[in-house]
Structures are given as C-alpha cells and as structure tokens.
Amino acid sequence: MTGIKRQSEKHLILASGRAYPELAEEVASLIGVELVPTRALTYANSEIYVRFEESVRGADAFVLQSHCAPVNEWLMEQLIMVDALKRASAKRITVVSPFYPYGRQDKKHAGREPISARLIADLYKT
C-alpha cells in the first residue's frame, strides 16, 4: 500500500491527475510517498473516468493536478478524483492546484457576469 502510515493506521496518500505526471512524481519523491495507482481514461465522447486501484478508506488524501491547457478537462478530472475519494471514504481530502483555474474571474466587473473563481471553490468544497 502506498502512503505514510501513522500509529492509528491512518495514512497519507498522494493522487495525481494526468495533466503533469512529472510534477506529481517529483512531489511524491520529495515527501517520501508513492503515488496512488490510478486508472484514468477519456472516452470517445470526451467523458472522463477515474478509479483508484487501492483502498483510500480513512486516508488523508492530497489530489495534485496542474491546470494547463485544456483547463476544463483537467479541472473536471480533478473534480471526479475528489468525488471518487469521497465515495471511497477518504477521511480528509486536500486539493493541490499550482495554478487556480478561473482565478482571473474573481470579481464582477459589470452586471450579469459570473464569479467563476467562486464557482470553482464551491465545486471543490461540495
């Protein structure tokens, strides 16, 4: 099993999306853990599928994803990973995002504009 185990048998895990695997491998190496084996693929109709190949129950999970182009695809993949961790009973989930998607849209400049940065924060939270 990957991750760091504590006395109470809880453990820290690092999961990564497909946007920048080299970054995830370097971070894992620096903190002394292995990346959680993850199966991720994109179907022909552009839907994304993610499955963790080992148990994450009770784990402190960190989900690392860079949001380079195409931003929407990598954002959706990270949201799906967070949802999969919740449904697999991870104890705590922390999103690690070197670049915050839609961060430039953090306030309204005119009427009828969304605050997209707030929407992204709400999606991560729920």
Of 57, 63, 82, 64, the closest CA to residue 1 belongs to: 57
What is the number of structural domains in the chain?
Answer: 1
Q: Which residues contact 99 (CB under 8 A, 6 or more apart)?
A: 66, 67, 68
pLDDT at 1: 62
Would the pLDDT of 3 be above 80? no
Candidates 62, 66, 125; CA nearest to 101 is 66
Show the domain range for 86.
4-125
Nearest residue to 95 via CA among 3, 25, 17:
17
β-pairing, 48-52 vs 38-42, is antiparallel
Average pLDDT over residues 31-36: 95
pTM above 0.75, yes or no: yes
Q: Looking at residue 69, which CATH number applies to its domain?
A: 3.40.50.2020
Reading the block at residue 72, the tokens are 């929407």
Task: Kindly state the average pLDDT of the residues 67-74.
Answer: 95
